[in-house]
Amino acid sequence: MIYTEKVMDHFQNPRNVGVIEDADGVGKVGNPVCGDMMTFYIKVNDNRLTDIKFQTFGCGAAIAVSSIVTEMAMGKTLDEAMKITNRSVAKELGGLPKNKLHCSNLGADALHKAIENYKDKQSPKGEVKAVNNPADDDCCCPYCEGPIEGAEDFCEKCQIELDECPECGKPTRKDREECFHCGATRVRV
> Which structural domains are found in the chain, ordered by start?
5-122 (3.90.1010.10), 130-189 (no CATH)
User: Minimal CA–CA distance to 31: which of 63, 58, 65, 67?
Assistant: 58
Q: Residue 167 above 50 pLDDT?
A: yes
d(CA 74, CA 182): 24
Residue 185 per-residue DSSP state: B
> Range with the lowest mean pLDDT among 18-22, 38-42, 70-74, 134-138?
134-138
> Range with the lowest mean pLDDT among 53-67, 97-111, 140-154, 170-184?
140-154
The whole-number pLDDT of residue 132 equals 43
Percentage of the chain modeled with pLDDT above 90: 39
Q: Residue 110 above 80 pLDDT?
A: yes
Q: State the catalytic residue, choosing from 34, 59, 139, 168.
A: 34
pLDDT: is 159 or 4 the higher one? 4
d(CA 81, CA 77): 6
pTM exceeding the 0.85 threshold for the entire prediction: no
Across the strands, what pairs with 38?
29, 56
What angle is formed at CA 111 by the lines to CA 107 and CA 114, rounded to 5 degrees?
Answer: 140
Residue 165 annotated as catalytic: no
Q: Residue 135 above 60 pLDDT?
A: no
The whole-number pLDDT of residue 133 equals 42
Q: Residue 71 above 80 pLDDT?
A: yes
Query: How confident is the model over 147-167, as a mean pLDDT?
Result: 67
Confidence class for position 95, pLDDT limits 50, 70, 90? confident
Confidence class for position 5, pLDDT limits 50, 70, 90? very high
At 13-66, the pLDDT tens digits run 999 999 999 999 999 988 766 678 899 999 999 999 999 999 999 888 889 999
Q: State the catalytic residue, choosing from 59, 103, 140, 179.
A: 103
Residue 103 annotated as catalytic: yes
